């Protein structure tokens, strides 16, 4: 079953809608930016995200290999999603679950979570310590 939820940045300038399958998993990563922001992300196909407002107000931050564009509101600074290409060249979007406005807490808590060792570019195995992710 496909679900759809709305989301926004803190100031409400950037608004979006995202669709995903009920069994969709989420992920947390220990790379430098994800660990500093305690990111909890939902990977979706590019066409699963619809920006409803604020596209011109999105800024982009990239670092290291510059493979991912971290998109955030230039007014309030809230990261709403990241976009890039995966290991096989497929484009993806990773929505910040904390930016979803209308997902029920019980639904959010039920999302399966995978852990990635982005700090060591090892995406096959989770990091040894996930307690702070």
Instruction: Identify whether 92 is part of a domain.
Output: yes
Domain that holds residue 107: 2-120
Nearest-angstrom CA–CA distance, 119 and 64: 11
75 closest CA partner among 2, 18, 15, 6: 15
- Within 13 Å, how many C-alpha atoms sit on residue 78's CB side? 18
Let me know if residue 52 belongs to a domain: yes
**Of 39-43, 88-92, 110-114, which gets the smallest average pLDDT?**
88-92
Residue 126 domain-assigned?
A: no
**What is the percent of the chain where pLDDT is above 70?**
100
pLDDT level of residue 121 (50, 70, 90 thresholds): confident
Residue 128 included in any domain? no
Instruction: Report pTM.
Output: 0.91
Residue 51: CATH number of its domain: 2.170.150.70
Instruction: Tell me how many domains the chain contains.
Output: 1
Residue 40: pLDDT band by 50, 70, 90 thresholds? very high
What pLDDT does residue 24 have? 86
* 131 within a domain of the structure (yes/no): no
Domain for residue 29, yes or no? Answer: yes
């Amino acid at each position: 079953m496909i679900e759809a939820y709305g989301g926004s940045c803190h100031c409400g300038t950037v608004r979006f809608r995202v669709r995903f399958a009920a069994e969709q998993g989420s992920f947390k990563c220990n790379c430098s930016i994800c660990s500093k922001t305690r990111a909890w992300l939902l990977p979706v196909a590019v066409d699963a995200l619809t920006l409803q407002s604020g596209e011109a107000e999105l800024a982009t931050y990239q670092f290291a290999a510059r493979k991912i564009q971290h998109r955030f509101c230039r007014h309030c600074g809230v990261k709403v999603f990241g976009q890039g290409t995966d290991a096989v060249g497929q484009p993806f979007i990773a929505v910040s679950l904390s930016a979803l406005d209308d997902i029920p807490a019980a639904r959010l808590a039920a999302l399966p979570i995978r852990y990635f060792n982005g700090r060591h570019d090892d995406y096959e195995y989770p990091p040894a310590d996930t307690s702070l992710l």
